[in-house]
Amino acid sequence: MQKCKTICFEPVCLDSIHFRFLPISIRGARLKARMKSQKLRYLLGGAFNAVFGYVTFMGVYYALLPWDVHYIVVVLVSQAIAITCAFFNYKHYVFQSAGNAWLECLRFVSVYVVAILLNTFSMIAFVDWLHMGVLAGQAASTIIVVVVSFVSHRRFTFRLR
């Protein structure tokens, strides 16, 4: 088969369907459509995770309020609960990954360790240094963590191979 100078043909495998020769322009369009839908799924899944995480934080905060537990303990407990829910959401809904669950879980947890540290230090900054309320500080921290998490999960945890 002779290759055209304007359209390059290469062997490629997409979605378990083997295309022996597919124009790069078509591959690019399919990849762009997949990424667009992935961003929409992340927006919806991430919104669910953010709301779930914030509601979990509030529930743990108010549940432990009678014992006067420090807010950092509340952050750590609520994050452990939220991370478990988020892994299944991201793996099966957002990124629709068929990869090794244990490896992805290990990567996911490593990303979330960074997210927990980021959340913890941003809470200290917002509450102790900027004198925001605990709930307002967690809302601001959530925004930062959501953006960092998406980039990390997309490029590291559930990356396309």
Helix (H, G, I), strand (E, B) or coil at 158: coil
Pairing mode, strands 9-14 and 17-23: antiparallel
Residue 15 lies in a domain: no
d(CA 138, CA 123): 6
Residue 54 lies in a domain: yes
What is the chain's mean pLDDT, rounded? 81
Element (H, E) at 13: strand 9-14
Residue 6 lies in a domain: no
**Out of 4-18, 79-93, 106-120, 129-143, which region has the weakest mean confidence (pLDDT)?**
4-18
d(CA 143, CA 147): 7
Residue 14 lies in a domain: no
Question: What DSSP character marks residue 66?
Answer: G
Q: Across residues 91-97, what is the average pLDDT?
A: 86
Residue 22 lies in a domain: no
Domain that holds residue 153: 36-157
Sign of the C-alpha dihedral, residues 48, 50, 53, 59? Answer: negative
Residue 4 lies in a domain: no
Count how many domains the chain has: 1
Residue 126 lies in a domain: yes
Instruction: Answer whether 52's CB lies under 8 Å from 82's CB.
Output: yes
Q: Across residues 102-115, what is the average pLDDT?
A: 91
pTM above 0.75? no
Residue 7 lies in a domain: no
* pLDDT tens digits, one per residue of 24-81: 555 566 656 666 687 788 888 888 988 999 999 999 999 999 999 998 899 889 988 9
Q: What is the pLDDT at residue 161?
A: 60
